[in-house]
Structure 1
Amino acid sequence: MKRFKHLLPVLLLLMSLTAAIISCKKGGDDPTPTPTPAQPVTTITSISPATAPVGSTIAIGGTNFGTSPTSNTVTIGGVVATIVSVTDTQIVVVVPTGAANGPVSVTAGGQTAQSQSTFTVYVAPLKPVVEISGTTFANQNWTRDKIYLLKGLVYIPADFTLTIEAGTVIKGAAPDQDPDKKNMAGTLIIERRAKIIAQGTASQPIVFTSAKAAGQRAYGDWGGLVLIGKAAMNTTSTAALPGGVRGTVERYAEFNDNSGTLRYVRIEYAGAAQPTGSATRLSGLSLYGVGNSTVIDHVQVSYSGSDSFAWFGGTANLKNLVAYRSFDDDWSADWGYVGNVQFGVAVRDPDVADQSGSNGLELENYDPTATTDVTPVVLANGLQQTAPVFANLSSFGFGTTPTTNKSAKGTGAYLAGLYLRRNAAVAVYNSLLYGYPEGVSLGATGATPGVTNNTIDLQGIVLANVLTPVVGNGVLTSDLTTTYFTTSGRANQIVQSSDLTALRLNNFNATTPGFLPQSGSSLLTGAVTGGKLANSFFTPTTFRGAFGTDDWTTGWTNFFPQNTDYDR
């Protein structure tokens, strides 16, 4: 009996195992359930670098990212960032404006991952401000680790050189900050025999701009940049230099004179009215008798309260110019300018014009009372005719139908894409004039108008979206100028409103203009050659307008300088 009691637990265990085996046999045809695989999880494992300024790029490492930019959303401190490149384990983004310190998040495939660490937006310290005024009789070096504030008229005198490092910012003060109490706006003036060496780069342009805070800048906040050389000007030697600048024209004819170098330079919000009499507004860049050994290329003038670029005599040669939203003319030449210009683009605000009437390119000669055309380009007599050569310009006025009404923000109105008067002469080749009430307006007095003696040479010009293509004044009647302009051998073209699509132009919006003509544009072919284009200064082209397939404005220009932080 005792032995049975010992065996009872064993028997019970055997009975349980038998029942389990029978149960398994009954369900033996059922497959074993497959475990559900775990869903891949989006994670953030790294941020490199963890501190960076707005506008720079950072790399976000992790897992299970979308493999295209549109399949991911990245935020930095709550602000959406632009994605540069992406793989399933790394996303490169640009630190966005307005980003705050905080975590980085990535949303991909319906999942959102947030970094455990905090990204910090780097804010550079304010640069020290160096005030500049009066005349300094010494060579100077201005460096990008400082801000230079021009107060009143600042002169670099004869035999001294100002060197400006790439990336340097120079600000012009308002007239009420003139230390001489003459109410002169901050202006930088390079006098005869002096030099400026302003050698910026595409990634680090030199910037001349308003001293006002971001968001408060406006047309004509300060004076501008003035270069004075020893090439001829065709007015009297005792005439005062324009714009309230000290000195007179004098009598020089050193056409190879050298005032230095301006390369990759921006000039913003210049053109202040100076209290020295009528017509004393300086332009963004004013060139008085500047010689052709001076190097000037890649210069942008924006929001000038007067002209963007102004030549008073001289022989300077310039390339790659941008005139953006000027108040008056984009390019203005007077007093016997005989230099060369190639590759220039102008974009205007249709609501802004000067009371004198705003033009794309305006040329005048030395004497409003002249009764005959003077001998073309007699270089040493001090009375050379204004006769420059412009090639590959693109001048954009109205994007819609032009109007001759007064502008909304000025007291003037638009006039012409090309405006000649006072017996000026000019050669313009392979250029586009778009969106003006008048395309070409030519005026002259006397018995020998320039279109018959070849002092005016217009070839390869495209007039588009203009109300009246060609206008004549004085002895240059509209019939005469129209016949001249439309002669087939001149290869000029008038594009009707119904045919504008053939130009295949990009949209010229306020802050991100796209300048390159699209593939198939009629502007990409048809350029003329020969004539004054044989000068070695000019780069041969097959296209008309300022652009072929290379956008030379990339990198160094700024089409929205209003909110740019120049203090750091």
Structure 2
Amino acid sequence: MKKVLLALAVVSASFSACVKVNIDDSLTNNGGTGGNTDCNDGTKEEKIICSKIITGQITENVTLPKGKYMLKGYVYVSNRAVLTLAAGSVIVSDTVSKGALIVERNSRLYAEGTAAEPIVFTSGKKPGDRKPGDWGGIILLGNAPTNHATTPTIEGGVNAQYGGSIAADNSGSLKYVRIEFAGIASDPGSEINGLTLGGVGSGTTLENIQVSFGNDDAYEFFGGTVNAKNLVAFATADDDFDFDNGYSGRIQFAVSCRKPDFVDPGDAGNGIECDNNAGGTTATPRTRPQLSNFTIIGPNSPTAAANHNYSNRWRRATQFVLRNSILMGHPDAGFSMESDETLNDYYTNNISEFKNNLVHAENNPYRSNNSALVSAAMIKAKAESEGCITYTNIADIQLESPFYSTNPNFLPKSGSPALSGTDFTGMTGFTAVAYRGAFGTTNWTAGWTNWDPQNTVY
């Protein structure tokens, strides 16, 4: 392919500028061609070619019109730059370089799709050949607090720092975004997740995002205060939602669904995994995610691959709030706690909350790693005294067709216990609804999600 160095126009209400990035003039992918679209806005003499390759560093504001782009290598948005992507854009990754998009502190990403025109980040391979780990993923880094003593470097081998003291920091906005076939490891235990968030502040918007077929975690929050709603994790290898290093934001309406034959063989995949930090110390601010209206769906299969683990796993001195949610189909506990600090903060100190949830697991719905301190029976009794219901028969929860397929339906059936029984007392910042789990009678995933990205032509 012939390559040229052109300029991407920056279009705003008040000014126009340009920044140089490498663009390929004849992008071919999936047996087709992106075409050469003239995107010149008339303010520059350069002919702007869209639907091309993006690589290198973006150090000035850039707005990309709707089109198809290829992400090649690690692309950094830095120097307080703002990258804006138009609704309906598709960003495929070069699968040789396994690209990733890293938005550094003080820079921002605005990827705001719509239900009719979501923005898609996906594999550059043709339908039928795509695999988890075909590319890296998206990394957002901000200046919000963490419980590290020094400024940490985000995992994944991208050599970028995160965290600070600005709780309301703004890293941009992601709305109606899909992230498919992401997740690569630079070293064991140091991976790029589908969406990695390091020290991201509450000024950032995260709404209507689907991460599917990720080779590590779907979402991992390293500290920060960012809030989110309408999140989907589908067919994740490791954890669907992972919280560490002092994360304290609010998330409402989230669903995860496991693929029975797909899990990280070197780790245990959980619906939720949460640590205060890797060392299990009580460093502050303590990790304490505030979660409501989650639907966590396990593989629900006696022949599922080993290492599908717990519906939610609280450990290493973390604190937490999980309320008004549905936890079902994992082989082991629907509610597991694994450190003395975590057990005490839930059972004795009432700092952590597990209330008004529907709880099921194939084996032992409740689990403690220190029965002498707080036993599983004690956890069960406390949970049920605070509005939780425990199920041995998963069908009694009465969801439509929630398990892995190319057309799942997570909505409650008529008469389901999920349609009532919530309690939002003391939950500032949450929307009070009557139903437990992520859905009532409206399917907010309709139109913009994709349950079969392997066979989609982009």
Bin of the TM-score, shorter chain as denominator length: 0.7 to 0.9
Q: Say if 2:79 is the partner of 1:140.
A: no
Aligned to 1:308: 218
Higher deviation after alignment, 541-550 or 507-516: 507-516
What do you get for the CA RMSD once the two structures are aligned? 2.1
| Shift in CA distance, 416/477, structure 1 to aligned 2, threshold 3 Å | farther
| Shift in CA distance, 445/398, structure 1 to aligned 2, threshold 3 Å | same
For the residues of structure 1 that align with 2:263 and 2:342, how far apart are their CA atoms?
34
What CA deviation, in whole Å up to 9, does each residue of 1:372-431 have, x standing for no partner? x45xxxxxxxx3110011110111112345x7x7x2xxxx51111010110111100011
What CA deviation, in whole Å up to 9, does each residue of 1:168-210 have, x standing for no partner? 0011222x33xxxxxxx20001111111111100000000000
Contact 1:234 1:335 in 2 (8 A): yes
Q: Say if 2:135 is the partner of 1:219.
A: no
Tell me which of 261, 281, 302 is aligned to 2:173: 261
Query: Equivalences for 1:240-389 in 2 at 5 Å?
Result: 240-249=153-162, 252-274=164-186, 277-354=187-264, 355-370=266-281, 373=282, 383-389=284-290
Deviation at 1:509, TM superposition (A): 4.6
| Shift in CA distance, 294/493, structure 1 to aligned 2, threshold 3 Å | same
Aligned to 2:405: 510
Aligned to 2:309: 415
What SS does the corresponding residue of 2:410 show, helix, strand or coil? coil
Tell me which of 418, 432, 445 is aligned to 1:553: 445
Deviation at 1:518, TM superposition (A): 1.2
For the residues of structure 1 that align with 2:33 and 2:153, how far apart are their CA atoms?
44
Q: Which amino acid aligns with 1:296?
A: L
Deviation at 1:461, TM superposition (A): 1.2
For the residues of structure 1 that align with 2:79 and 2:307, how far apart are their CA atoms?
40
| Shift in CA distance, 445/238, structure 1 to aligned 2, threshold 3 Å | same
Deviation at 1:476, TM superposition (A): 7.5
Tell me which of 390, 394, 418 is aligned to 2:295: 394
Higher deviation after alignment, 124-133 or 155-164: 124-133
For the residues of structure 2 that align with 1:483 and 1:189, how far apart are their CA atoms?
45
Deviation at 1:137, TM superposition (A): 1.7
Deviation at 1:477, TM superposition (A): 4.6
For the residues of structure 2 that align with 1:425 and 1:447, how far apart are their CA atoms?
6
Aligned to 2:105: 192
Contact 1:442 1:476 in 2 (8 A): no
Larger radius of gyration: 1
For the residues of structure 2 that align with 1:271 and 1:235, how far apart are their CA atoms?
24
Query: Equivalences for 1:55-74 in 2 at 5 Å?
Result: none
Contact 1:470 1:478 in 2 (8 A): no
Q: Which amino acid aligns with 2:101?
A: L
What SS does the corresponding residue of 1:438 show, helix, strand or coil? coil
Contact 2:62 2:82 in 1 (8 A): yes
Tell me which of 185, 190, 201 is aligned to 2:114: 201
| Shift in CA distance, 413/258, structure 1 to aligned 2, threshold 3 Å | same
Q: Say if 2:210 is the partner of 1:210.
A: no
- Higher percent of residues as helix: 1
Deviation at 1:455, TM superposition (A): 2.4
For the residues of structure 2 that align with 1:390 and 1:465, how far apart are their CA atoms?
20
Runs of 4+ in structure 1 deviating by more than 6 angstroms, as ranges, are none
Contact 2:171 2:203 in 1 (8 A): yes
Query: Equivalences for 1:20-31 in 2 at 5 Å?
Result: none
Normalising by the residue count of structure 2, what TM-score does the alignment of the two structures yield? 0.85
Deviation at 1:273, TM superposition (A): 2.1
For the residues of structure 2 that align with 1:493 and 1:322, how far apart are their CA atoms?
24
| Shift in CA distance, 245/507, structure 1 to aligned 2, threshold 3 Å | closer
Tell me which of 64, 82, 89 is aligned to 1:168: 89
Deviation at 1:478, TM superposition (A): 5.4
What SS does the corresponding residue of 2:454 show, helix, strand or coil? helix
Higher deviation after alignment, 133-142 or 438-447: 438-447
For the residues of structure 2 that align with 1:351 and 1:478, how far apart are their CA atoms?
34
What SS does the corresponding residue of 1:395 show, helix, strand or coil? strand
Contact 1:386 1:426 in 2 (8 A): yes
Deviation at 1:215, TM superposition (A): 1.1
Q: Which amino acid aligns with 2:92?
A: K
What SS does the corresponding residue of 1:468 show, helix, strand or coil? coil
Aligned length: 410
Query: Equivalences for 1:417-566 in 2 at 5 Å?
Result: 417-436=311-330, 437-445=332-340, 449-451=344-346, 452-474=348-370, 477=373, 479=375, 481-487=376-382, 488-497=384-393, 500-531=395-426, 533=427, 535-536=428-429, 538-566=430-458
Deviation at 1:127, TM superposition (A): 3.8
Flag structure 1 segments of 5+ consecutive residues without an equivalent: 1-122, 178-184, 375-382
For the residues of structure 2 that align with 1:553 and 1:482, how far apart are their CA atoms?
37
Flag structure 2 segments of 5+ consecutive residues without an equivalent: 1-30, 37-50
Contact 1:196 1:261 in 2 (8 A): yes
For the residues of structure 1 that align with 2:457 and 2:359, how far apart are their CA atoms?
39
Contact 1:465 1:500 in 2 (8 A): no
| Shift in CA distance, 463/142, structure 1 to aligned 2, threshold 3 Å | same
Contact 1:443 1:476 in 2 (8 A): no
For the residues of structure 1 that align with 2:181 and 2:164, how far apart are their CA atoms?
32
Contact 2:338 2:370 in 1 (8 A): yes
Contact 2:246 2:286 in 1 (8 A): yes
For the residues of structure 1 that align with 2:226 and 2:106, how far apart are their CA atoms?
15
For the residues of structure 2 that align with 1:239 and 1:475, how far apart are their CA atoms?
35
Deviation at 1:563, TM superposition (A): 1.4
Percent identical: 36
Normalising by the residue count of structure 1, what TM-score does the alignment of the two structures yield? 0.69
